[in-house]
Amino acid sequence: MKPRIALTLGDPNGIGPEVVLKTIADDALREAAEFVIVGNEPVLRQHAERLGLDAGEVAVWEVAPGVEAEVAWGETTAMGGRLAMRAVERAADACLAGEADAMVTAPISKEAIALAGYRTPGHTEFLAERTRAEGYTMMLVRGGLRVGLVTTHLPVRAVADAVTEEAVLDKLRIIHAALRSDFGIERPTVAVLGLNPHAGDGGVIGTEEIDVLAPALEAARAEGLGVAGPFPADAFFGRKSYERHDAVLAMYHDQGLAPFKALAMGGGVNVTAGLPIVRTSPDHGTGFDIAGQGRADAASCREAVRLAAEIARRRAG
């Protein structure tokens, strides 16, 4: 199977179009997958001309017919947010309809999409709603290192209230299902991080580990899920404890993503587990500070394409 992958351009004023152009130029990836670029063709042309990159013969699904959008290099604009999200909508709908086997999303600006009138914290939540997913979680992947999150784009002050027994158990179910269906791991184990420093130190620095996490882990084991923890988050990654497990469940965004990105060194991939479609993305942002300079590293985007193709083939059987 040679899966068809829809690549969205992301925010037109950032590095998304650049990393997409660099990715589709990879001969090995062209052998592994068929590409469709989703976005505004004039934006793609401006990036290609400025950076001396070639879009080749790849098809483009236009999301704004008749709109000759002007790239505002490195700026946050409502137009940028609008074009970025139209591409996400088109790619998601194509995957749902069977027109594409997977989607890979270049970075968007949360500020820009807010200016465009969208009320969503990011790709993950938007795609879950668009595809009517019953449950989902953000999972970052680099080889055997896989980190999922209980909460994603929440203010830190709201995290503790959102970490409930039901939420933790739900994410454990989703991650286990993804590890089996998308990564081919028959009997996965997931390490769960504590919410508090030192995993609460027996209740001295918070009781969520006792009141919330322990019951969630017990319930998961009763369902036959392989789980361990809760582990103190500060030492877990430094000791490479993740190597003894198939995935890690962190309680909040920076608890999981800060160590992941330090270890992945620009080659990580964001996977939305639990969706009825395959969606991956690079693990970096819009790069407004280097937009249009030809300095963007496409390694993470290439890895996102490889993983999307692999998951699509696995799901197809």
| Rg, the chain, Cα only | 20
Two tokens at 175? 């991650």
Q: How far apart are CA 82 and CA 201, in angstroms?
A: 47
Two tokens at 284? 């970096």
The answer to whether 46 and 142 have CB atoms below 8 angstroms apart is no
Helix/strand/coil for 251:
coil
Two tokens at 61? 């699904």
Give, for 282, the enclosing helix (H) or strand (E).
strand 279-282
DSSP of 188-210, one letter per residue? Answer: -EEEEE-SSGGGGGGGTT-SHII
DSSP state of 182: T
The answer to whether 4 and 100 have CB atoms below 8 angstroms apart is yes
Task: Say what the pLDDT of residue 90 is.
Answer: 98
Task: Say what the pLDDT of residue 115 is.
Answer: 96
Two tokens at 218? 């017990």
Task: Say what the pLDDT of residue 65 is.
Answer: 94
Q: What is the pLDDT along the chain (317 residues), one digit of tens a residue?
A: 899 999 999 999 999 999 999 999 999 999 999 999 999 999 999 999 999 998 878 999 999 999 999 999 999 999 999 999 999 999 999 999 999 999 999 999 999 999 999 998 888 889 999 999 989 999 999 999 999 999 988 999 999 999 999 999 999 999 999 999 999 999 999 999 999 999 999 999 999 999 999 999 999 999 999 999 999 999 999 999 999 999 999 999 999 999 999 998 778 999 999 999 999 999 899 999 999 999 999 999 999 999 999 999 999 98
Task: Say what the pLDDT of residue 309 is.
Answer: 97
Task: Say what the pLDDT of residue 275 is.
Answer: 96
Task: Say what the pLDDT of residue 267 is.
Answer: 86
The answer to whether 41 and 75 have CB atoms below 8 angstroms apart is no
Q: pTM for the complete prediction?
A: 0.93
List domains and CATH numbers for the chain: 1-133+275-317 (3.40.718.10), 136-274 (3.40.718.10)
Backbone phi and psi for residue 311, each to the nearest 5 degrees, phi listed first: -65, -40
Q: Please count the other Cβ atoms lying within 10 Å of the Cβ belonging to residue 140.
A: 23
The answer to whether 20 and 50 have CB atoms below 8 angstroms apart is no
Examine residue 230 and say whether the peptide bond preceding it is cis (omega within 30 degrees of 0). Answer: yes
Please report, as a single letter, which amino acid is at residue 9: L
